[in-house]
Chains A and B, each alone.
Chain A
């Protein structure tokens, strides 16, 4: 299954959830924001979202800026 993660194609196993992907990438779940198909999803909903072919996912964080 292919999805677009942070603008790049990513191949994932079927049945992968948002929570599973965040864990797979070794990302601290408390420090990131996830946008799923252009909508922000809360952390408590990550485990309930199973990714599908061609989904678009953005994992974002706040950084220093002026």
Chain B
């Protein structure tokens, strides 16, 4: 039986969401999407640079993917709502990743403004996926506000430092009846596998793939790691033991 999960009424088979920032060439994006197996791909919205013409990133995202704009650049709920509405009106669909940040050093999300934006946009029919610091009470409020999933950070955005928030994410997985998608900070496929082994519904990866020596190969590696971690979660790992326990029988040895 295929292992799927639902967000906003959409059934997904891939548990790896892919960000499109920082690729050395946009031409790598469709290859990375295919290699990773991602079905949800994120983009951002920015003012154009009037000095020179740039490519349209959406043209590089395979048409069968869900294009999920983020609200990066928003400093409060109002700005996030404005970006989300613009993206939807521009034909981006109704999925949105809420990102509200005023901390320029660690790029940590403003959970309070994120809850406010989630409430407004969910009421307008958006499928809202809020990026958040992993706090149980905040996650509960996001669920009450109508979030379709919650996206706790593993480590600061773009840091490739791994699942530093592991214990807090574990609490969200245990307590929140929504998909938990670890977003930001995962640097290696093993860290994505670890998040999946814990029971995360999915992970979102950008920097680790886009800045790898071979981004397409790394996209594939993350795709495989997410599948492996998910399979291990479903398989149910054995218990850990403090001391050694022989795997082979302790009788019938070939000795006098």
Is the C-beta of B58 less than 8 angstroms from some C-beta in chain A?
A: yes
Pair A31/B44 contact, Cβ less than 8 Å: no
Is the C-beta of A65 less than 8 angstroms from some C-beta in chain B?
A: yes
Is the C-beta of B248 less than 8 angstroms from some C-beta in chain A?
A: no
Q: What string of 1s and 0s marks CB contacts (under 8 Å) between B4-37 and chain A?
A: 0000000000000001111100100100000000
CB-contact partner of B21 in A7, A59, A66, under 8 A: A66
In angstroms, how far is the closest chain B Cβ from the Cβ of A44? 13
A4 and B21 alpha carbons, distance in the complex (Å): 28
Is the C-beta of B246 less than 8 angstroms from some C-beta in chain A?
A: no
Is the C-beta of B39 less than 8 angstroms from some C-beta in chain A?
A: no
Is the C-beta of A27 less than 8 angstroms from some C-beta in chain B?
A: yes
Q: What string of 1s and 0s marks CB contacts (under 8 Å) between A2-39 and chain B?
A: 00011100000000000000000111101111010010
Interface size of A by CB at 8 A reads 23
Given A31-B55, A40-B86, A63 and B46 contact (CB-CB distance below 8 Å): yes
Is the C-beta of B244 less than 8 angstroms from some C-beta in chain A?
A: no
A33 and B92 alpha carbons, distance in the complex (Å): 11
Chain A positions within 8 Å of B82 at CB level: 38
Pair A65/B55 contact, Cβ less than 8 Å: no
A11 and B157 alpha carbons, distance in the complex (Å): 39
Chain A positions within 8 Å of B20 at CB level: 64-66
- The chain B residue sitting closest to A7, CB to CB, is B47
List 14 interface pairs A-B (beta carbons < 8 Å), by A numbering: A25-B50, A28-B56, A31-B54, A40-B86, A60-B48, A61-B48, A62-B69, A63-B44, A63-B45, A64-B21, A64-B23, A64-B26, A65-B42, A66-B44
Residues of B participating in the A interface, judged by any CB pair closer than 8 Å: 19-23, 26, 29, 42-48, 50, 53-59, 69-70, 72, 82, 85-87, 89-90, 92, 157-158, 184, 204, 206-207, 210
Residues of A participating in the B interface, judged by any CB pair closer than 8 Å: 5-7, 25-28, 30-33, 35, 38, 40, 58-66
State the 5 A-B residue pairs at the shortest beta-carbon distance, nearest first.
Answer: A65-B44, A66-B19, A66-B206, A31-B56, A64-B20
